[in-house]
Amino acid sequence: MVRTRGIRTASAPSRRLALGVVGIVVASLVLPVLIPFGLAVAGAGEGTWSARAADWVRDHGGAALVDTVENAWYTLRAPSDASPPSSALPAPAGAPVAAGHGPATVLPVITGRPTLAGEARWYPGRPGRDGRPSLYTAWFRPDAAHAGVVVGVASLRTASLRFRLFTGTVQPVTGAAGPHAVDPSRDPGLVAIFNSGWRMADVHDGFFLDGRTYRPLVPGQASAVIDRQGRLTVGSWGREVGPGPGVVAVRQNLRLIVDGGTLTPGLDANPHQAWGSAKNQFEYTDRSALGVDRSGNVIYLAGRGLTLHTLAVALVDAGAVRGMELDIHSGLPMMSLWTPGPHGPVGRKLLPTMISPLDRYLRPEQRDFFDATLR
């Protein structure tokens, strides 16, 4: 047997005690972070893991870090100049409308590029009570320098539809009055559901719903406003839209990006961070927008690989005279379209590249959102 002289080795119980103490210390430092992080990521309500993780980091002092990472990641990932694959394009929903029988806006095509099947054509959606389509959908390519970028657009007829704003389980605030989901069995006239704006913690904007002010409304901010008749419009708070007894919902999000049928000056400069954190306007990312045309019809638009400037250009191309950016980044822009089926409503996405599940808003949702139903 070999004996070690002059060196005392710790006994097994002593080593276990030391490791236990170290484990307790590490756990006391790590668990207070991991537990709330895990609860936030796995909490009730729909939402991508990456979006929830980024939101949690922002809420715990890491907003500057998240902005830096997102700026680097999205700015350097320029979209392809190649034509999009067929898997990125919506399948035709029937036949396109003839000229003069749908929205007045003629959607653009890229000069010098072959026009793809179904590109820049309006397709009718679910009929309204008057027999006319309650909405029209289309897709087109708004960025000649990046021909792989596709946006989907829906033109929703205000005369045929009623709009509603829903709170989420977390947005505008945790514990906001529900419902936080759409129930198709109670809404047989369901036509569309679509995302709302940025998290309230990331903007200095207001939120008003059913007589309750969740966040004070701010003059000059882009506002989606719904009245008692269910009509939705978009404008600058205090100018085109404002307080009144007929207003039931207001969702603000940054400044208008389209005003008077043209791009709002300063989109690339983003003065005073009017459109979010510095340089986010240059990020090639998923973006969505909401606007109104000259007839007051509502325009929803979304796509991937869009800068703020390209989003605004696309909104003007789609016929908007006023428009605002809605939510951005992977998995957040989402519109589902619904028609009656033999066993209940049948849904499809505005674009097949939208990451969220089709039933996203049929279950409790973390973020606020809108829907449109037949009048």
State the burial class of residue 356 (Cβ atoms within 10 Å of its Cβ: 0-12, 13-18, 19+). buried
360, 328: one domain:
yes
Domain-ending residue, one of 49, 73, 97: 73
What does the alpha-carbon distance between residue 280 and residue 325 come to, in Å, rounded to a whole number?
13
CA 178 to CA 47: how far, in whole Å?
Answer: 18
> Which residue, 205, 212, 210, is CA-closest to 256?
205
151 and 226 within one domain: yes
Encode pLDDT of 233-257 as tens digits: 999 999 999 999 999 999 999 999 9
Domain boundary among 44, 73, 102: 73
pLDDT at 113 over 70: yes
> Do 219 and 132 share a structural domain?
yes
In a domain, 346, yes or no: yes
Confidence band, pLDDT 50/70/90 cuts, at residue 94: confident
Task: Check whether residue 329 and residue 202 sit in a common domain.
Answer: yes
Q: Which of 13-27, 77-91, 318-332, 343-357 has the lowest mean pLDDT?
A: 13-27
316 found inside a domain: yes
CA distance linking residue 50 with residue 236, whole number of Å: 32
- My answer on whether 42 and 102 are in the same domain is no
Do 228 and 343 have their domain in common? yes
Query: What pLDDT, on the 0 to 100 scale, is given for residue 151?
Result: 99
64 and 102 part of one domain: no
Any domain includes 1:
no
Same domain, 32 and 152: no
Taken in order 328, 239, 160, 249, the sign of the CA dihedral is: positive
Domain count, the chain: 2
* Residue 198 included in any domain: yes
Sign of CA dihedral 56, 59, 60, 65: positive
The domain boundary, picked from 73, 107, 122, lies at: 73
- Whether 4 is covered by a domain: the verdict is no
- Place 32 in a pLDDT band, splitting at 50, 70 and 90: low
Q: Tell me the per-residue pLDDT of 260-296, one tens digit each, with 9 for 90 and over.
A: 999 999 999 999 999 999 999 999 999 999 999 999 9
Residue 120 lies in a domain: yes
Please give the model's pTM, rounded to 2 decimal places. Answer: 0.85
The residue written with tokens 């320029």 in the block is 78
Tell me which DSSP letter residue 368 carries.
Answer: -
Does residue 45 have a pLDDT over 70?
no
| pLDDT value, residue 168 | 97
Confidence of residue 21 (pLDDT cuts 50, 70, 90): low
Residues 354 and 205 in one domain: yes
* Residues 44 and 92 grouped into a single domain: no
pLDDT exceeds cutoff 50 at 7:
no
Question: Are 35 and 107 found together in one domain?
Answer: no
Contact indicator for 221, 206 with CB cutoff of 8 Å: yes
In a domain, 2, yes or no: no
Say if residue 290 is in the same domain as residue 352.
Answer: yes
Residue 212 lies in a domain: yes
pLDDT in tens, 177-218: 999 999 998 989 999 999 999 999 999 999 999 999 999 999
Range of the domain at 58: 13-73
CA distance 239 to 241: 6
